[in-house]
Amino acid sequence: MQTSIFTLNCNGKLITINHPIVMGIINTTPDSFYADSRKNTVEASLMQAEKMLQQGAAIIDIGGQSTKPNSLKIDTVEELQRVIPSIEAVKKRFPDCIISIDTFNATVAAEAIQAGASIVNDVSGGLMDVGMISTVAQFNVPYICMHMKGTPQNMQQNPLYENVTKEVLDYFIERTNTCSQAGIQDMIIDIGFGFGKTIAHNFQLLRELSVFKILQKPILIGVSRKSTIYKTLGITTEEALNGTTVLHTIGLMNGANILRVHDVKEAVECVQLFKAYQA
Protein backbone atom coordinates (compact mmCIF):
# COMPACT_ATOMS: atom_id res chain seq x y z
CA MET A 1 0.00 0.00 0.00
CA GLN A 2 1.58 3.27 -1.11
CA THR A 3 1.81 6.05 1.45
CA SER A 4 2.31 9.73 0.66
CA ILE A 5 5.50 11.24 2.08
CA PHE A 6 5.40 14.75 3.54
CA THR A 7 8.15 16.92 5.00
CA LEU A 8 7.72 19.71 7.54
CA ASN A 9 10.39 22.37 8.08
CA CYS A 10 10.18 23.11 11.80
CA ASN A 11 12.53 26.06 12.31
CA GLY A 12 15.28 24.31 10.41
CA LYS A 13 14.60 20.82 11.76
CA LEU A 14 13.00 18.62 9.14
CA ILE A 15 10.27 16.13 10.04
CA THR A 16 9.67 13.50 7.38
CA ILE A 17 6.23 11.93 7.59
CA ASN A 18 6.62 8.67 5.69
CA HIS A 19 4.44 6.84 8.21
CA PRO A 20 1.87 8.12 10.71
CA ILE A 21 3.21 10.03 13.71
CA VAL A 22 1.82 10.89 17.13
CA MET A 23 1.33 14.31 18.72
CA GLY A 24 0.98 14.41 22.51
CA ILE A 25 -1.36 16.93 24.17
CA ILE A 26 -0.35 19.09 27.13
CA ASN A 27 -3.02 21.55 28.30
CA THR A 28 -1.79 24.28 30.65
CA THR A 29 -5.44 24.96 31.49
CA PRO A 30 -7.69 24.37 34.49
CA ASP A 31 -10.71 23.44 32.38
CA SER A 32 -9.81 21.19 29.43
CA PHE A 33 -12.41 18.45 28.96
CA TYR A 34 -10.08 15.58 29.95
CA ALA A 35 -8.78 16.22 33.46
CA ASP A 36 -5.59 14.17 33.12
CA SER A 37 -4.39 16.38 30.25
CA ARG A 38 -4.36 19.48 32.48
CA LYS A 39 -0.81 20.36 33.52
CA ASN A 40 -0.98 23.65 35.39
CA THR A 41 2.64 23.96 36.51
CA VAL A 42 5.89 24.03 34.57
CA GLU A 43 7.09 20.94 36.44
CA ALA A 44 3.92 19.03 35.54
CA SER A 45 4.37 20.00 31.87
CA LEU A 46 7.98 18.86 31.95
CA MET A 47 7.08 15.50 33.48
CA GLN A 48 4.32 14.95 30.92
CA ALA A 49 6.57 15.97 28.02
CA GLU A 50 9.30 13.60 29.18
CA LYS A 51 6.82 10.74 29.49
CA MET A 52 5.32 11.41 26.04
CA LEU A 53 8.71 11.73 24.33
CA GLN A 54 9.88 8.46 25.92
CA GLN A 55 6.70 6.79 24.66
CA GLY A 56 7.35 7.92 21.10
CA ALA A 57 5.61 11.26 20.55
CA ALA A 58 7.03 13.11 17.54
CA ILE A 59 5.42 16.45 18.51
CA ILE A 60 4.34 17.95 21.83
CA ASP A 61 1.30 20.23 21.52
CA ILE A 62 1.04 22.84 24.29
CA GLY A 63 -2.08 24.99 24.69
CA GLY A 64 -3.39 27.42 27.28
CA GLN A 65 -6.86 28.22 25.93
CA SER A 66 -9.53 25.56 26.33
CA THR A 67 -11.61 25.10 23.18
CA LYS A 68 -14.15 22.62 24.52
CA PRO A 69 -17.82 23.53 23.86
CA ASN A 70 -18.90 26.60 25.87
CA SER A 71 -15.36 27.22 27.13
CA LEU A 72 -14.50 30.71 28.37
CA LYS A 73 -12.17 32.79 26.20
CA ILE A 74 -9.21 34.16 28.16
CA ASP A 75 -7.20 37.29 27.35
CA THR A 76 -3.81 37.32 25.63
CA VAL A 77 -1.85 38.09 28.80
CA GLU A 78 -3.30 35.12 30.68
CA GLU A 79 -2.79 32.77 27.73
CA LEU A 80 0.86 33.84 27.46
CA GLN A 81 1.35 33.32 31.19
CA ARG A 82 -0.02 29.80 30.84
CA VAL A 83 2.00 28.61 27.85
CA ILE A 84 5.32 30.46 27.55
CA PRO A 85 7.00 29.16 30.74
CA SER A 86 6.12 25.57 29.83
CA ILE A 87 7.33 25.95 26.24
CA GLU A 88 10.61 27.48 27.40
CA ALA A 89 11.14 24.78 30.01
CA VAL A 90 10.34 21.87 27.68
CA LYS A 91 12.60 23.28 24.96
CA LYS A 92 15.44 23.81 27.45
CA ARG A 93 15.14 20.30 28.92
CA PHE A 94 14.52 18.60 25.55
CA PRO A 95 16.20 20.79 22.89
CA ASP A 96 15.41 18.38 20.05
CA CYS A 97 11.70 18.28 20.92
CA ILE A 98 9.29 19.60 18.28
CA ILE A 99 6.71 21.77 20.06
CA SER A 100 3.48 23.07 18.57
CA ILE A 101 1.57 25.94 20.11
CA ASP A 102 -2.19 25.35 20.24
CA THR A 103 -3.68 28.84 19.88
CA PHE A 104 -5.92 30.96 17.67
CA ASN A 105 -4.21 34.15 18.89
CA ALA A 106 -1.50 35.55 16.57
CA THR A 107 0.34 37.33 19.40
CA VAL A 108 0.52 34.11 21.41
CA ALA A 109 1.70 32.21 18.32
CA ALA A 110 4.53 34.71 17.73
CA GLU A 111 5.66 34.70 21.37
CA ALA A 112 5.49 30.91 21.51
CA ILE A 113 7.66 30.52 18.41
CA GLN A 114 10.24 32.85 19.91
CA ALA A 115 10.10 30.76 23.11
CA GLY A 116 10.80 27.52 21.24
CA ALA A 117 7.66 26.31 19.46
CA SER A 118 8.06 25.50 15.78
CA ILE A 119 4.49 24.63 14.66
CA VAL A 120 1.27 26.63 15.05
CA ASN A 121 -1.93 24.65 15.71
CA ASP A 122 -4.96 26.91 15.13
CA VAL A 123 -8.49 25.58 15.70
CA SER A 124 -9.94 28.57 13.84
CA GLY A 125 -7.97 28.23 10.60
CA GLY A 126 -6.98 31.90 10.87
CA LEU A 127 -10.56 33.14 11.10
CA MET A 128 -10.56 34.27 14.76
CA ASP A 129 -7.47 36.49 14.48
CA VAL A 130 -6.86 38.26 11.18
CA GLY A 131 -3.14 38.45 11.97
CA MET A 132 -2.60 34.71 12.30
CA ILE A 133 -1.93 33.73 8.68
CA SER A 134 0.60 36.52 8.11
CA THR A 135 2.29 35.75 11.45
CA VAL A 136 2.76 32.08 10.57
CA ALA A 137 4.07 33.05 7.14
CA GLN A 138 6.49 35.55 8.69
CA PHE A 139 8.02 32.93 10.98
CA ASN A 140 7.97 30.29 8.22
CA VAL A 141 6.71 27.45 10.43
CA PRO A 142 4.22 24.67 9.64
CA TYR A 143 0.57 25.56 10.20
CA ILE A 144 -2.14 23.19 11.40
CA CYS A 145 -5.37 24.58 9.97
CA MET A 146 -8.54 23.19 11.52
CA HIS A 147 -12.17 23.39 10.49
CA MET A 148 -14.60 24.73 13.06
CA LYS A 149 -18.17 25.86 12.40
CA GLY A 150 -18.73 28.86 14.66
CA THR A 151 -16.70 29.43 17.84
CA PRO A 152 -16.07 27.23 20.89
CA GLN A 153 -18.79 29.22 22.63
CA ASN A 154 -21.54 28.39 20.09
CA MET A 155 -20.23 25.63 17.81
CA GLN A 156 -22.38 22.83 19.26
CA GLN A 157 -25.65 24.76 19.12
CA ASN A 158 -27.37 22.73 16.42
CA PRO A 159 -24.63 22.59 13.72
CA LEU A 160 -26.19 22.04 10.28
CA TYR A 161 -24.68 20.98 6.94
CA GLU A 162 -26.16 19.87 3.64
CA ASN A 163 -23.13 17.61 3.17
CA VAL A 164 -20.53 17.92 5.91
CA THR A 165 -17.69 16.33 3.93
CA LYS A 166 -18.23 18.55 0.90
CA GLU A 167 -18.52 21.71 3.00
CA VAL A 168 -15.40 20.93 5.03
CA LEU A 169 -13.48 20.10 1.84
CA ASP A 170 -14.59 23.39 0.25
CA TYR A 171 -13.38 25.20 3.37
CA PHE A 172 -9.95 23.58 3.10
CA ILE A 173 -9.65 24.35 -0.60
CA GLU A 174 -10.21 28.02 0.23
CA ARG A 175 -7.94 27.97 3.30
CA THR A 176 -5.06 26.19 1.55
CA ASN A 177 -5.19 28.75 -1.24
CA THR A 178 -5.21 31.62 1.27
CA CYS A 179 -2.31 30.15 3.24
CA SER A 180 -0.29 29.43 0.11
CA GLN A 181 -0.80 32.95 -1.23
CA ALA A 182 0.31 34.37 2.14
CA GLY A 183 3.55 32.39 1.90
CA ILE A 184 2.92 29.49 4.29
CA GLN A 185 5.07 26.62 3.01
CA ASP A 186 3.94 23.68 5.15
CA MET A 187 0.29 23.18 6.02
CA ILE A 188 -1.46 20.35 7.87
CA ILE A 189 -5.24 19.94 7.79
CA ASP A 190 -7.33 18.98 10.80
CA ILE A 191 -10.94 18.03 10.06
CA GLY A 192 -12.01 19.35 13.45
CA PHE A 193 -13.87 16.41 14.95
CA GLY A 194 -16.37 17.73 17.48
CA PHE A 195 -15.93 21.37 16.50
CA GLY A 196 -19.35 22.42 15.23
CA LYS A 197 -20.34 18.88 14.29
CA THR A 198 -22.78 16.29 15.55
CA ILE A 199 -21.76 12.72 16.32
CA ALA A 200 -23.21 11.69 12.93
CA HIS A 201 -21.13 14.38 11.20
CA ASN A 202 -17.99 13.14 12.96
CA PHE A 203 -18.57 9.55 11.87
CA GLN A 204 -19.27 10.63 8.29
CA LEU A 205 -16.02 12.63 8.19
CA LEU A 206 -14.08 9.69 9.62
CA ARG A 207 -15.67 7.34 7.08
CA GLU A 208 -14.87 9.71 4.21
CA LEU A 209 -11.48 10.90 5.50
CA SER A 210 -9.64 9.69 2.39
CA VAL A 211 -11.52 12.35 0.37
CA PHE A 212 -9.21 14.95 1.92
CA LYS A 213 -6.12 13.34 0.39
CA ILE A 214 -7.00 15.36 -2.72
CA LEU A 215 -5.54 18.39 -0.89
CA GLN A 216 -2.10 16.71 -0.84
CA LYS A 217 -1.46 17.83 2.73
CA PRO A 218 -0.80 15.79 5.88
CA ILE A 219 -4.08 14.95 7.63
CA LEU A 220 -4.25 15.28 11.42
CA ILE A 221 -7.09 13.79 13.42
CA GLY A 222 -8.05 14.73 16.96
CA VAL A 223 -10.59 12.21 18.24
CA SER A 224 -8.88 11.32 21.51
CA ARG A 225 -11.41 10.68 24.32
CA LYS A 226 -13.98 12.99 22.69
CA SER A 227 -17.74 12.93 23.21
CA THR A 228 -18.33 11.05 19.94
CA ILE A 229 -16.72 8.11 21.71
CA TYR A 230 -18.02 8.38 25.25
CA LYS A 231 -21.56 9.45 24.34
CA THR A 232 -21.90 6.68 21.73
CA LEU A 233 -20.72 4.09 24.27
CA GLY A 234 -22.51 5.59 27.28
CA ILE A 235 -19.29 5.92 29.27
CA THR A 236 -17.08 8.71 30.65
CA THR A 237 -14.09 10.54 29.17
CA GLU A 238 -11.88 8.60 31.58
CA GLU A 239 -13.20 5.30 30.15
CA ALA A 240 -12.78 6.30 26.50
CA LEU A 241 -9.25 5.05 25.78
CA ASN A 242 -10.32 1.80 24.13
CA GLY A 243 -12.82 3.63 21.92
CA THR A 244 -10.14 6.17 21.06
CA THR A 245 -7.86 3.39 19.83
CA VAL A 246 -10.65 1.99 17.65
CA LEU A 247 -11.24 5.37 15.98
CA HIS A 248 -7.49 5.92 15.61
CA THR A 249 -7.28 2.63 13.75
CA ILE A 250 -10.14 3.61 11.42
CA GLY A 251 -8.51 6.98 10.88
CA LEU A 252 -5.18 5.40 9.97
CA MET A 253 -6.92 3.01 7.57
CA ASN A 254 -8.55 6.02 5.88
CA GLY A 255 -5.42 8.12 5.50
CA ALA A 256 -4.60 9.96 8.74
CA ASN A 257 -0.94 11.02 9.00
CA ILE A 258 -0.90 12.52 12.50
CA LEU A 259 -2.78 11.39 15.62
CA ARG A 260 -3.25 14.13 18.22
CA VAL A 261 -3.68 12.24 21.48
CA HIS A 262 -3.83 12.27 25.26
CA ASP A 263 -2.40 8.74 25.49
CA VAL A 264 0.83 8.48 23.52
CA LYS A 265 1.86 4.90 24.35
CA GLU A 266 -1.39 3.40 23.08
CA ALA A 267 -1.43 5.58 19.96
CA VAL A 268 2.16 4.66 19.10
CA GLU A 269 1.27 0.97 19.48
CA CYS A 270 -1.71 1.55 17.18
CA VAL A 271 0.62 3.06 14.54
CA GLN A 272 3.11 0.20 14.94
CA LEU A 273 0.44 -2.42 14.35
CA PHE A 274 -0.95 -0.44 11.39
CA LYS A 275 2.54 -0.30 9.83
CA ALA A 276 2.95 -4.06 10.31
CA TYR A 277 -0.44 -4.61 8.71
CA GLN A 278 0.57 -2.44 5.74
CA ALA A 279 3.92 -4.16 5.20
How many CB atoms within 10 Å of residue 103? 30
Residues 6+ apart with CB under 8 A from 110: 135, 138, 139
Confidence at residue 244, expressed as pLDDT on a 0 to 100 scale: 98
pLDDT tens, position by position, 172-204: 999 999 999 999 999 999 999 999 999 999 999
Q: Which residues are catalytic?
A: 226, 260
Confidence at residue 35, expressed as pLDDT on a 0 to 100 scale: 58
60 within 8 A of 93, measured Cβ to Cβ: no
Q: Which residues of 136-158 are buried (b: 16+ CB within 10 A; e: fewer)?
A: bbebebbbbbbbbbebbeebbee
Residues of the chain with pLDDT under 70: 1-3, 31-38, 155
Q: Which of 215, 196, 209 is closest to 259 using CA atoms? A: 209
Q: Which of 157, 198, 6, 200 is closest to 70 using CA atoms? A: 157
Q: Tell me the longest C-alpha to C-alpha distance in the chain.
A: 49
Q: How far apart are the first and last CA of the chain?
A: 8
CA 139/CA 184 separation, integer angstroms: 9
Residues 6+ apart with CB under 8 A from 230: 236, 237, 239, 240, 243
Confidence at residue 1, expressed as pLDDT on a 0 to 100 scale: 46
Confidence at residue 33, expressed as pLDDT on a 0 to 100 scale: 61
Residue ranges and CATH numbers for the domains of the chain are 6-278 (3.20.20.20)
pLDDT tens, position by position, 234-279: 999 999 999 999 999 999 999 999 999 999 999 999 999 999 999 8
Q: Which of 262, 259, 201 is closest to 228 using CA atoms? A: 201
Confidence at residue 67, expressed as pLDDT on a 0 to 100 scale: 78
Burial of 73 (0-12, 13-18, 19+ CB in 10 A): middle
Amino acid at 210: S
